[in-house]
Structure 1
Amino acid sequence: MSKDGAVGASMTPLATDPFSSAANQFTARLRAAVSLDDAGRRGDALEALQEAETLLPDRPESAFLLGGLYERFQYWGKATVFYRKALQSKPEVPRVWHRLGIVHLHAGDLPDALQALEEAVSQAPDVPDYATDLSMVLSRLGRFEEAWGLVRIALALRPGDLHALNNAGHILQCLNRSAEAVEFYDAALLQSPSHPVIRFGRAAALLKAGSFSEGWQEYEWRWQSSRTVRTDIEAPVWEGEDLQGKTILVHHEQGYGDTLHFIRLASLLVARGACVVVQVPVPLVRLMERVDGVDRVFSVVPSEEHFDYHCPMMSLPARLGLESDVVGAVSYLSVPEDEIIRQGNALRCLAQGNPARPDFIVGLVWGGDPRPHDPRATQTDRRRSIALESLAPLFSVEGLRFVSFQMGIPRHQIETTGLPLIDGTDDILDFQDTGARLYGVDLLITVDTSIAHLAGGLGLPVWMLSRADACWRWGESGTQTGWYPTMRIFRQHRSGDWDSVLEDVRVALDRLMAVYRSCQEKSAPT
C-alpha cells in the first residue's frame, strides 16, 4: 500500500481478475434483490435476480444462494433449476436436497419432493427437520403409516418440536385416530396458542372425532389459516344475535358440497325469526330457491339489497351451536315434479332394457374436481378419485345398467374404457337438472364429491366410496352417517386400496340384485 493509502501494485491483479469482479457483482445483485423485495419492489427484485443469473460463479454455493432467493419469491421452477445445479458438482449436501424437496412440495410435485427429501434424510438421519418434512410429503401421498414412523423419529430427535407435533396431529387424524390427534395439537398449542394452522387442524380432528360443539368453534380459525373474510358486505357478521324480524344473508364458501350439506340450517334460522337470503354460484341457484325457509337466492347480490347480518355458510354450525350430525329434515332438497318426469323418466327410458323384466339402474361418479390451481386440493382429489377402469368388476353383476353422472375431466375416461356406460350428463345446466335425473336411477354410487350431498339431501339412495383418510364429516368408521340416512359408506381400510372397496361393492350389488329379482318374481302376474 502506498504512503497516501492507495492500493499498491501487489493488489492490481485481484482488482482486474474477471472472476473476482463477476463474483462481487453476483453477490451485489443478490443483496439488491433482497433489499428491493423488502421495500415492496418485487418486479425490480426479480430483475436483479435475472442479472445475477448472468454473473453466476461456477460454485455450488452460489447456485444454492440463487435458488434460495427464487424460492423466497415462490418461483419454484427457477429454484429447482439452481438447486439441482448446486447438486451437480456436490451431491453430498443434505440441506440442498432438503430445500429442493420443499420447492417440489410447493409446486405440487410430490414424487420429486419425496425423492429429494428421502435423500436428505438418508444423508443426515439425525436432523429432525428433514424427517418432519418427509413425513408431510408421505402423508400427502396417502402413505400415512410411513409418515407416522418418520414424525415419531423427528419427535425423538427433538421432543416438543412445533412442526413435528402439528404433523403428528394431521397424520393421526388421517389414520382415523382423531382423539390422539387432538392430544398432539394440544401439545403444539402450548407453545403457540394462536397458531391458526394448528387450530384449524385441531378443529377437523375434533369434528371427525364427533366433538361437534368444540369442533365448530375451532373451525372459525380457518379465517386466519386458509380463508379470506369477505369485505364487500356492509352488514355485520352474525355472531348469534337475536334474529327476530331481521334479514340475514347466508353466502356460499368452499365447495358445492359444503353448501349442499349445510343449506339445511336455513330452517333453523327461520325458526329464530329471520328472513333468510342466500348467495350461491349459478349452478346452485335454482336448487336453493326450493329450500324451505329460503326467501330469496342470488348469484350476485343486487346493490339495493339490505341485510341486518351476513354469515358464511360454514359458520352457521358454530353460531347455531350444533352438537350432532342429526339435523333437520331428511329430504331438505327437492326438484320440481315436472322436471323429475321430464328428465328422470327420459333417463330411465334411455337406460332401461327389457321393460317386462326391467334392469336395476345405477348411476356412477368416479372422480372429483382436481382443482389444478390448488396443489393441496389436487393431492386430496387424487386420493378420493378412482379410475373408471377400476370399476369394471361392478359391470359383472347381472341385471344392472350403468349411467354416468360424471362431469369434468374424468368424464373423458368413458371413451377409452369401452365399458357399457350411458352418459347421462348431456345438456345438464345445474344441480337441479342433475337432481331431476337422479330420480331416473335406482341407486347412485359415487366417490366423495358434491353429488353425494345432492343425492343425500334429496333423500335418494347413495353408496359413497370413501378414501381411508375420510373427510371429517364422515367420522372414522361405520357405514352410516347421521347427515344422510339414505347413504351407505364403503371405506378404504388401507390408503390407495380401491380394489377391496370395489369388491365389497360388487358383493353388495350381487345381494341387492338377488332381493330385487325376488321381488320382481313375487309381483309378476301368474
Structure 2
Amino acid sequence: MTTAPAIADTSETVIDSLLSRCRVFEQRKDFAAVRREALHFLAGNRSDVAALALLGRTELRLGRAGRALAPLKRCVKQSGNFIFRLLYAHCLKRLGHADEAAEELASAGRSMPVSGAAFFAAGVTFEGVGEIDLAIRFYRQSLLLAPGVPCVSHRLGRHLLDKGKPEEALELINTAIAGKADEAYYHLDQGVALELTGRLEESLAAVDNAIAVAPDNPEALHNRSHLLLLLNRSGAAITAADRALEVRPDYPATLFTRATALLKVGRWEEGWREYEWRWRSCQTPRTDIRCPPWEGGDLRGRHILLHAEQGLGDSLQFVRFATLVARLGARVSLHVPEPLVRLFRRVQGVSDVFSTLSSDAVFDCHCPLASLPMMFGITPETVPAAPYLSVAPEMAAKQGDPVRRLAENGDGNPRDLIVGLVWSGAPRKNKVRSYALDERRSLKLADLEPLFSVSGIRFVSFQLDEAAQQRVETGFPLTDVTQGITDFADTAARLTGTDLLITVDTSIAHLAAGMGWPVWMLSRFDGCWRWLEGRSDTPWYPTMRIIRQEAPGDWAGAVGAARRMLAGEVQQRQFYREKALSENLT
C-alpha cells in the first residue's frame, strides 16, 4: 500500500495566513520570527514568490544583504515584477555591486507603470525593509502622479512626523481625513501632529474623533489619557487611563502615564509604585550591576550603589535621598554622569561618587535614584527639604565673587540685584517628541525683553549650548558668566554670586533650588508632573516659585508676571534698606 506524494499547498489562503502572521511579528519588530516563518513555509513551497520576497526583505531588515540576495534574485527570475527588481537592485547596491544594481534599476524602470499606485507600492516595499528615506521619495512621487490619495497622504505624513516635520505632516494628514474621514488612525495621527506643534486642545479633539470612529482603539484611548495629562486635567487622565487599560490591560505606556497623572495630582503613595512601570515603558533597566536590587531590607553594614537613570535634573532632584539611605546604616556609592561627580561628593552621607562603573566593583545591592521616593514612601508632606547641595566656601569666593564684580562692570550700583537667566533647555533634536517638549519649555531671549526694563537689576547669563548665541543677537545688557564652566560644581559656585535665578524648567533650576537659592521657574503650560497642578510653590524646593503659562505657548503672560515680581522685589529691597538706614540714624 502506498501513499500519495505530498503536494505543496500554495493556495491563497495559506499564503495569506503566512503573511498575516508575519505582519504581527513585523509590528513587534520581531524580524527573526518573520524569518523563521518564511523559511518554514519555503521548506514545503520552495518556489513561492511571495514567501521568497518575504524572506529577502526580512534579511534586509536584519541587516544581512548577503543573505537577502539569493531569494530576491529568484523572485526576479520567476516573476520580473518591478517591485522585486527594485528590492534586488537595492540589495546589490548595499553589497557594493554598483553596475549590476544600475542595470536592475533600469529594468525596473522599464517595467514599472508610471502611476501613483505603482510608486505607492514601491514606497510600502522600501518602508518594509526599513529604508524610510527611499519610501518617502516614492510616496512623494505617488502624490505628484495622483494627488490627494488618502492612504498615500497619511503614510507620507506619518513618516514626516517621525522626521520631525509636524507642520508638513499635519497638512498631509488633513488631506487624508478630507478624503476618508472614517479611518481612526488618520485622526489619531492628526492628534500626534497637533500635539507636536503645541496645539493640545485640538490634539485632544482629534483623538476624540478617532475614538468616535473606533471606540475601543487602544492607541486612541491611551493618547487621550496622555493629552489630558498635558492639559493639566490629571484626574480625568487617570479615568481615561483606566478606560484604556480595560481594552489593553497591563500596557506599560498607559500605566506609566497613569503613574505620572497620580503624581501630578499629589497621590504619591500610589503614584510612586506605578512609576516603576517606566522600566517597561521608557527606561532601560541596568544589566551591568552584579548585585540584587534593594527591596527595602536592612542596610546596616551593607554597601549600596545608587545610580542615575534619567536626565541631569532628575539626578539633582533625587540625590537628596542618598542622605536618608546613609542614615539607615549603609555605605552609599553614587554612579552618575561626569558633570555631577564633584558636586555630589559634598552630599551628606555619600561615601564615593564616580562616572565610570568598574568591572570589579562589588556592592551588596543597588537602587535607581528615582525609585528612592517609593522606597521611603515619600508624600508631598514628607519630602526632605533643600538645601542638600552645597559649595565649598573657597570655591564660592573664587567663582561666585567674580560673577558679582563682572555684573557690576565697574559702574554698577553695588546694591543692584544680580539676577541669573536661563531661557532654553538643551535641545534633543534626534528625538522628535523630546525636541517638541524642549520647544514648549524653552523661549527666546527676546521674549524676556520686559525684564530688562526694571531698574536696579544686573542680569547675568548662565545659558549654555546654541541658545547662548541669542545674547549677542539681542544686544541686551546681559553679562555671560559661563566661560570656563566644566561641570555643575562650577555652576553652583558661580550661582553664589547672584541673588536670584530666573530659568525655564531645566537642570539648573534643580541645582539652584537644591542649594536653597531663590529660583523663579518659568513653566510651560503642560508642566512636568513633579510641579503638581496649579501651584506656584513646590514641596521639593522651598525657595522656588513657579510662574506658569496660563495657556499653551503664552510666554508673554508668564514673563509679564515675572516682570511685576521683579519690580516688587526691587521695591521691597529699597524699602528695607531705607528702613535700616532710618533706624541707624535714630
Q: Same fold by TM (over 0.5)?
A: yes
8 Å Cα contact 1:208-1:475 kept in structure 2: yes
Equivalents in 2 of 1:342, 1:168: separation in Å?
A: 52
Deviations 1:1-25 (A, max 9, x none): xxxxxxxxxxxxxxxxxxxxxxxxx
Quick one: which amino acid aligns to residue 455 of structure 1?
A: A
- 63 and 326 in structure 1: CA distance in 2 versus 1, 3 angstrom threshold: farther
Shift of 1:376: 1.6
Which stretch has the larger CA shift, 43-52 or 289-298? Answer: 43-52
2:467 aligned with 1:404: no
Report what 1:158 is aligned to: 214
Cα distance change on mapping 1:439 and 1:64 into 2, 3 Å: same
> CA–CA distance in 2 between the matches of 1:490 and 1:73?
48
For residue 452 of structure 1, give the secondary structure of its aligned residue in structure 2: helix
Distance 1:398 1:42, change over 3 A: farther
In structure 2, the partner of 1:509 is: 566
1:427 is the counterpart of 2:467: no
Cα distance in 2 for residues equivalent to 1:342 and 1:114 = 53
- Cα distance between partner residues in 2 of 1:303 and 1:357: 53
Structure 1 CA distance, aligned partners of 2:58 and 2:491? 55
Kindly state the Cα deviation for residue 326 of structure 1 after the two structures are TM-superposed: 4.2
For residue 88 of structure 2, the aligned residue among 44, 48, 64 is: 48
Deviates more, 1:489-498 or 1:300-309: 300-309
C-alpha deviation, 1:345, in angstroms: 0.8
For 1:324 and 1:202, locate their aligned partners in 2 and report how far apart those are by CA, in whole Å: 18
Residue 211 in structure 1 maps to residue 267 in structure 2:
yes
* Equivalent position of 2:7 in the other structure: none
Deviations 1:102-153 (A, max 9, x none): 1011112211221111111122122221111111221222211111111112
Cα deviation code 1:412-449 (max 9, x no counterpart) = 11111111100010101110110111111111000000
Which residue among 369, 379, 401 is the counterpart of 2:436? 379
Between 308-317 and 72-81, report the one with greater CA deviation.
Answer: 72-81
Alignment counterpart, residue 395 of structure 2, candidates 327, 339, 357: 339
SS of equivalent residue, structure 1 residue 488: strand
SS in 1 for 2:384: coil
Mapped partners of 2:207, 2:301: distance in 1: 53
Does the C-alpha gap of structure 1 residues 401 and 44 become closer, same or farther in structure 2, counting only changes over 3 Å?
farther
CA contact (8 A) 2:115 2:146 kept: no
Offset, 1:304: 3.5
Contact 2:148–2:175, Cα closer than 8 Å, also in 1: no
- Give 1:490's match in structure 2, choosing from 544, 547, 553: 547
Pick one of 20, 36, 46 that aligns with 2:59: 36
- Residue in 2 aligned with 1:368? 425
Query: What CA distance in whole angstroms lies between the structure 1 residues aligned with 2:290 and 2:490?
Result: 34
* Contact 2:58–2:129 (8 Å) recurs in 1: no
Paired with 1:356 and 1:149, the residues of 2 have a C-alpha distance of: 54
Flag the 1:370–1:486 CA change in 2: closer, same or farther, 3 A.
Answer: same
Q: Which residue of 1 aligns with 2:473?
A: 416
Identical amino acids, percent of aligned pairs: 45
Q: Which runs of 5+ in 2 are unaligned?
A: 1-48, 70-86, 91-100
- Work out whether 1:194 is the aligned partner of 2:234: no
Other-structure match for 1:473: 530
CA distance in 1, matches of 2:129, 2:266: 41
SS at match of 1:425: coil
Residue 518 (structure 1) aligns with: 575
Q: Which moved more, 1:510-519 or 1:420-429?
A: 510-519
Q: C-alpha distance in 2, partners of 1:29/1:87?
A: 30
Output aligned runs, 1:77-116, within 5 Å: 77-116=133-172
> Which segment is superposed worse, 380-389 or 295-304?
295-304
The alignment of Structure 1 onto Structure 2 pairs a total of residues equal to 501
How far apart, in 2, do the equivalents of 1:449 and 1:93 lie? Answer: 43
- Shift of residue 240, structure 1, vs aligned partner: 2.3
Is the contact made by 2:304 and 2:332 (CA closer than 8 Å) also made in structure 1? yes
The partner residue of 2:375 within 294, 297, 319 is 319
Alignment partner of 1:176 is 2:232: yes
* TM-score, structure 2 as length reference: 0.82
What is the one-letter code of the residue matched to 1:488? R
Q: C-alpha deviations, 1:188-208, integer Å up to 9, x for none?
A: 111221211111221211111
Give, in whole Å, the separation in 1 of the partners of 2:61 and 2:480: 54
Q: Does 1:450 align with 2:472?
A: no
Give the Cα separation in 2 of the matches to 1:393 and 1:79: 48
- Does the Cα contact within 8 Å between 1:325 and 1:483 map onto a contact in 2? no
Higher mean C-alpha displacement, 480-489 vs 313-322: 313-322
Change (3 A) 1:275 1:148: same
1:358 aligns with 2:415: yes
- Let me know the Cα RMSD of the aligned residues: 2.1
Higher relative contact order (CA 8 A, sep 6+): 1
CA change 1:501–1:31 in 2 (3 A) is same
Residues of 2 paired with 1:203 and 1:97: CA distance? 36
Question: Secondary structure in 2 aligned to 1:361?
Answer: strand
Taking structure 1 as reference, are residues 329 and 94 closer, same or farther at Cα in structure 2, changes over 3 Å only?
same
Residue 304 of structure 2 aligns to a residue in which SS? strand
Residue pair 1:30, 1:48 contacting (<8 A) in 2 also: no
Kept in 2, the 8 Å contact 1:244–1:273? The answer is yes
Q: Per the alignment, in what secondary structure is the counterpart of residue 95 of structure 1?
A: helix
Further displaced range: 37-46 or 406-415: 37-46
Write the deviation string for residues 355-384 of structure 1: whole angstroms up to 9, x where unpaired. Answer: 665211110000101122222211110000
Partner of residue 14, structure 1? none
Unaligned 5+ segments in structure 1 are: 1-25
Aligned-partner residue type, residue 549 of structure 2: Q
Name the SS for the 1:500 alignment partner.
helix
1:8 maps to which residue? none
Does the residue aligned with 1:509 lie in a helix, a strand or coil?
A: helix
Q: CA deviation at 1:40?
A: 6.4
Paired with 2:300 and 2:202, the residues of 1 have a C-alpha distance of: 53
Preserved contact between residue 61 and residue 130 of structure 2 (Cα < 8 Å): no
- After superposition, give the CA deviation of every residue in 1:498-518 in whole Å (9 maximum; x if it has no partner): 111111111111111111122
The 1-side partners of 2:425 and 2:370 are apart by: 20
Counterpart residue type for residue 315 of structure 2: T
Alpha-carbon contact 2:399-2:493 (below 8 Å) kept: yes
Provide, for residues 258-278 of structure 1, a one-character-per-residue CA deviation record: whole Å limited to 9, x for no partner: 000000111221232221100
TM normalised by structure 1 equals 0.91
Counterpart of 1:153, as a letter, is N
Deviation at 1:42?
A: 5.9
